[in-house]
Chains A and B, each alone.
Chain A
Amino acid sequence: MDDPTFSPIRWNRRTLIGAAGGTALAAVLPPMAEATPEEADAAIREMFGEIPINEGRVWVKLPPIAENGNSVAIDITVDSPMSDDDHVRRIGIFSPRNPIATIAEFRLGPHAGRAQVSTRVRLAGTQTLRVIAEMSDGTLWAGKATTYVTLAACVIG
């Protein structure tokens, strides 16, 4: 009976408690679908189309550590004069890990005077958010920021 090929896991007190705990946790928590980085890319394409994305001009600020993923402050600034003929038209926030990749879409224009937006987002875990800005000339610019989430949204509600 002590043949190691018979049971790949050597059941002792520790593994048994671990397995039982894992099963109990899986039963309590609803299955949580997570978006993937590929889905975030697809969401960006759905919002902005198949246009090349340039890195730069978009500055994203997140706290380095977010204790609670249910509400994380994000500040976005886009390098733009916001004049009638040169301004930011749209801004999108995308997550590679939340259940839904698209978090928000903003529309602004020359009447805003300054391309600066702040809001608060939910984060289902440590991740790098991508922010895409569409300029009035149709070009796309991207920025990103990473935050370490110690307590993810969704898990505790």
Chain B
Amino acid sequence: MIRISAPDTAEMGEIVEVKAMIQHPMETGYRRDAKGDVIPRNIIKQFRCAYGGNTVFEATFFPGIAANPFLAFCLRATRTGPIEFSWTDQHGETWSETRQLTVS
């Protein structure tokens, strides 16, 4: 459901880049199927990345975000611990994933 690219290790204070791609059609609600019926909107609304007890990055998506939403952002490595990713669709269903970052 999500593909994450984040380093396993970092030096104290280093700024690392994190990339995430959620597999999701991000159906806009403007398209029609072969019968001419509107395909209902179905999008991921929220994405959040937390690390070291802080929210590092948060996104609110609208239908203008492409299918399989991709995000790249940065975080400052301060302590060894999990990087938590969570994302929620428009119906409120939430998924999450964790990566471990070791800081030396």
Contact = CB atoms under 8 A, between A and B. Distances in A.
Interface stretch (A9-17, A18-26, A101-109): A101-109
Contact of A111 (B52, B62, B63, B70): B52
B52 A104 contact: no
B69 interface: yes
**Interface of A: prevailing SS:** mixed
Contacts of A111: 51-52, 54-56, 75-76, 78
A118 interface: yes
Contacts, number: 104
B56 A108 contact: yes
A121 B65 CA distance: 4
**Interface of B: prevailing SS:** strand
Assign chain B's interface to a size class. Answer: 20 to 34
A120 B66 CA distance: 6
Assign chain A's interface to a size class. Answer: 20 to 34
Contacts of B38: 30
Contacts of B67: 70-71
Contact of B30 (A30, A71, A95): A30
Closest 8 CB pairs of A and B: A113-B76, A103-B64, A113-B15, A71-B66, A118-B72, A107-B58, A120-B66, A114-B74
6 contacts: A95-B64, A104-B60, A104-B64, A111-B76, A113-B15, A117-B71
Interface of B: 15, 17, 28, 30-32, 38, 51-52, 54-67, 69-76, 78
